[in-house]
Structure 1
């Protein structure tokens, strides 16, 4: 690696920043408030990935519908009933998603496919037995069986790892649990994907800066329930809430673009920034190699020339990250692109989990539906767990609450009816699953 860093030329580094699509699907064009992806389509791609089945390239909806209805009509004592079946199973000229398998009927757009890469990277399929099925009535089962017969084999041997290995384990664990509760999963599939898309990108932002060269872990990010009152006295919401997240988000594009460049230069497609210290080693030759690469990088990106003589590997790596960020600091074309990435992050990823409060600005929130979903996947097969253990499981996924919000959570669970108090003192409060 050192030789490749030292010998990297301006031509090899390139004058343009490469969009970091491997780990981050947003582009500077995604500034609309309307989502550029379709969660049903992404769910279909996920089901296809897990089941290793896919729609044929030339799948014809009208042909499928006519063939299925013709087949069903043969078994009807009253042939006119087929009109009722058609109205129920094919409303609006599309296959309804009354089963998990039928999410695959949604033809995914290119944008949805790019966003699916996030979930594909998070999925550690070989580690868990995942069977995505739904309990159906007789007619529904006939429709699903007929649909499944049209699918082709979708083999894949890729071993995927996201930028956040700690979240890979949790995502796959949660998918495995939800596959055992198919009705709940089908009803909450889109919310589940929306939640994990936000968890992934928010933790990516918090781990890229200033913890660039540390192995990613869950970083504190504080939420409140959407009906709570916000106040500036709640310091954790102020210092580790939305404003902090939005500030960190500005590093996603430049840092991951640099990673794409480093992967190309070193010919290591699975390289992560936090692996650099171990990969290059802590030696004078490593420091010199990083400094030399930094010098060529600045020439490639037309930054002011600068001589480096770093005293430590940490200094040389941080100087490189400073150069990477420096190219976006002015109001040039790059600066405009940079701000568009941040706006896209706010509108496409954060919007389901933010509220604007007068006198406070934006805050991160969860509504009751997301709380119930998060609670159920955290409890999983255990049926019930202690409240403090539940909070720990929230935090492992990147969701933190201050003391006032924890009390609000207990009140909410009381209203929902899934609290079990083992003692009058309140020391042993258990939260039950609602599934």
Structure 2
């Protein structure tokens, strides 16, 4: 099947490469000519495991191409819309200018029978507004939300846990759904559930999923505050809760909270859209979810200050992590960099390290100190703060090794990912986030 993917960021570049790996002929389109030049050269413009190999294979096979010209999307049977929807500057609602611009540019190149499949995360009602414009060209709009995890995006594209396609009932809508089912035949044949909904429900699925995940994370972090005040252990509490099949253990990892370019902006946009629909009270709890999440960063900074006896100025603090999560170089709304900046503002000599995100961090926060190697960051530090749960920190860093480098034996475990007993037995002052 011939496909185009409009927008080659985190979502689009992975989607284009993955579809090409399945044998489809795919053209990725983006207005950023530098990004397109990198992709044509087989270079991923961001860190994502397995993507470079997939790009190389797709380009070599001829199934994958990239262009900055929308005209090169002409002739595709399916056009996947994968542009970004950031927050409006100074507000919480989603900025749809890139979605609208992409549709306007695509319309002259659509043919009767073409399918436009929206993958971008948009406020409910967006597809209903765009559908008549696309129908006037003879094409059909469906909404096919993405559920990718950065660091696992290739896996989640090729082996998704579900496929959702929103379409109008009957006629062109039914034919468009059949086209998407064919596009995803490999996953469907492997048993992936294929759920067909109306347009509005498909849009809501993504927002509701992220709202639920954010709520679950903030719930356990709220419990961490109670555990800390009562001298309980949040990790053991989460283990006990997770054994309840109605709850489950995933996303009950208490710590410094979530960040990135999806969950924070998506829950805010979801609440903003609810306000526009006159139902803001139904999701009022999401504002508290957001507040709990941000409060965890305050708590991490306070743990550092208290551990250093309130004397932070001039103290060397190693911050392990810059990306908002492991297996990514994405620093958008990164808790790690937020904590580092706050400590720097208190006069600390902060040194940040990260296996993948240093270049992005330096560009965004040049006032911070950086070390490309973990041990260089640890050397002569008065305190260590683990904020991104990379394997290099969670599994490979021992108290004995760190003890030979760190001046002050203080570790703040912002992800509750270390063996607290082992670090304490080695003579370290260990502080978890609600953990004994």
Name the TM tier (shorter chain).
Answer: under 0.3
Question: TM-score scaled by structure 1?
Answer: 0.23
Q: Which one scores higher on RCO, CA 8 angstroms, separation ≥ 6?
A: 1
- Give the number of the structure whose alpha-carbon radius of gyration is greater: 1
Greater percentage in strand = 2
